[in-house]
Amino acid sequence: MTPTKLPRLDLGKLEKVVERFSSLRLLVVGDVMIDEYFWGDVDRVNPEAPVPVVRVKSESTALGGAGNVLRNIAALGVNGVLCSIVGNDYAGDQVTSLVSDLGLDPNMLIRVDDRLTTQKTRVGARSQQMLRFDRETDLPIDRQLETAMLALVDSSLDKADGVILEDYGKGVLTPFLVRGLIKRAKTRGLGVSVDPKFEINMYKGASFIKPNLREVEALAGFPLKDRADLVKAVFRIRKRVGGSPVIVTRGAEGMTVFEEMEDGLDVPAARSEVFDVQGAGDTSIVALTLARLAGANLVEAAVIANAAASVVVGKLGTATASLEEIRDLLPQSVESARSVRST
């Protein structure tokens, strides 16, 4: 199946779209977590077991999940606020502190005594991740917490230009909460963009959905062997969300936009050296959302998001992209997207 050719792309217009990012304000709702990293060298094997010994040289802690979406927003000079649930534990303290360190308000984080804050710890050596261990809960929040979050959302929507729902399957985004949030946002004329995980029906009415290929397979219920399978899978997903556009991120291959055309529009990404794909999806949802709010159509937004994701995969750890870095890669991203017309 041959994809539809891309419309004309104007680099000057896309540069002006990016310049408008800093005037916007986003509300992020979803699963927040702590990403912890230990990096070092390996020069021997553990005599106690056949595993390498990592001599730790550096360590760091960063916001992950919906928190990494907030980090990406802040890195672009955009005003953002995060609404989520964390435990009354040390990792929850870290989340609150790291949000404050971004110069943003942590008061929309609800602390819960009997809930564990999700924490992912990665161990790596020589730029390669070797091990990850997780401490988390994925139990759905109860009705009392759902109601409390909706009250917080109500207090923030009037000051927001758009909403991002970041679903990592850790129980914060329940059907009751999501449907109530989308209804409230639409009443105010606000768009809602979604980074989904396992559930899709509750996102009916969203402005667009942004799954990756693995998530498309999980949501559609069958493996993707070729492009025809992708088209079939996205058609099934769009039917379940009331026809909302779907933008599929495809790693180094870029993105495919499904809006009016059933066979989709492929938007290739510029080739770049990849060090770590961690967090690239979070960068993409932020760039897509901001670009749409700043006047880009979905294809133009995908070109900008490809540039942002290319910046992030060239860095180690859960990284972010700045406005300057995106602007620098925009010409390459535009040229890569234009190349589809000659194939």
Average pLDDT estimate for 8-18: 93
Place of tokens 């971004």: 102
pLDDT in tens, 152-207: 999 899 999 999 999 999 999 999 999 999 999 999 999 999 999 888 999 999 99
User: Predicted confidence band at 270 (pLDDT cuts at 50, 70, 90)?
Assistant: confident
CB 258 within 8 A of CB 248: yes
* Whether the predicted pLDDT of 275 surpasses 50: no
Q: pTM for the whole thing?
A: 0.91
Q: What is the pLDDT of residues 297-331, one digit of tens each?
A: 999 999 999 999 988 876 665 678 899 999 999 99
Span 53-80, mean pLDDT? 93
**What is the average pLDDT across 264-279?**
70
Chain Cα centroid distance, residue 130: 23
CB-based contact 63:75 (threshold 8 Å):
no
| Cβ neighbours for 257, distance < 8 A, ≥ 6 positions apart | 245, 247, 264, 265, 267, 298, 299, 302
pLDDT single digits (tens) 90-135: 999 999 999 999 999 999 999 999 999 999 999 988 878 888 999 9
Label the pairing between strands 128-135 and 162-166: unpaired
337 Cβ contact list (under 8 Å, min separation 6): 6, 9, 254, 267, 268, 299, 302, 303, 306
Q: Whole-angstrom Cα distance, residue 49 to residue 28?
A: 44
Residues with active-site annotation: 282
pLDDT in tens, 223-261: 999 999 999 999 999 999 999 999 999 988 899 999 977
- In order of their start, the domains of the chain are 11-34+63-342 (3.40.1190.20)
DSSP 141: P
pLDDT tier at 278, thresholds 50, 70, 90: low
pLDDT confidence of residue 223:
93
